[in-house]
Structure 1
Amino acid sequence: MFRRTFWFTAGAAAGVWATTKVNRKLRQLTPESLAAQAANKAVETGHRLKDFALDVRAGMVQREAELGEALGLDAPVDAELPSPRRAPALDRAAHPTHHSYPTISYNRNEDH
Structure 2
Amino acid sequence: MFRRLFWFLTGAATGVWATTKVNRALRRLSPESLAATAADRALETGARLRTFAHDVRAGMAQREGELQDALGLTGADDTRRPAPRELDTDLPAPRRGIAYDAYDRKDDH
TM-score by length of 2: 0.69
Shift of 1:56: 0.6
Match of 1:35 in 2: 35
Match of 1:91 in 2: none
Match of 2:68 in 1: 68
Residues 66 and 28 of structure 1: is their aligned pair in 2 closer, same or farther, counting only changes over 3 Å? same
1:29-87 deviation digits (Å, cap 9, x = unpaired): 11111111111111111011111101111110111111011111223887222455789
Runs of 4+ in 1 over 6 A off after TM superposition: none
**Gaps spanning 5+ residues in structure 1: where?**
88-112
Q: Match for 2:56: what amino acid?
A: V
Larger CA Rg, structure 1 vs 2: 2
Work out the CA distance in 2 between the residues paired with 1:17 and 1:5: 18
Residues 23 and 77 of structure 1: is their aligned pair in 2 closer, same or farther, counting only changes over 3 Å? farther
Work out the CA distance in 1 between the residues paired with 2:83 and 2:41: 41
1:1-112 to 2 correspondences below 5 Å: 1-75=1-75, 79-82=79-82
TM-score by length of 1: 0.67
Q: Secondary structure at the match of 1:74?
A: coil
Identity of aligned residues (%): 67
**Gaps spanning 5+ residues in structure 2: where?**
88-109
Q: CA RMSD in A?
A: 2.3
Q: Which has the higher helix share?
A: 2
Residues 77 and 31 of structure 1: is their aligned pair in 2 closer, same or farther, counting only changes over 3 Å? farther
Higher relative contact order at CA 8 Å, sep ≥6: structure 1 or structure 2?
Answer: 1
Work out the CA distance in 2 between the residues paired with 1:83 and 1:70: 25
Match of 1:109 in 2: none
Q: Secondary structure at the match of 1:70?
A: helix
> Between Structure 1 and Structure 2, how many residues are aligned?
87
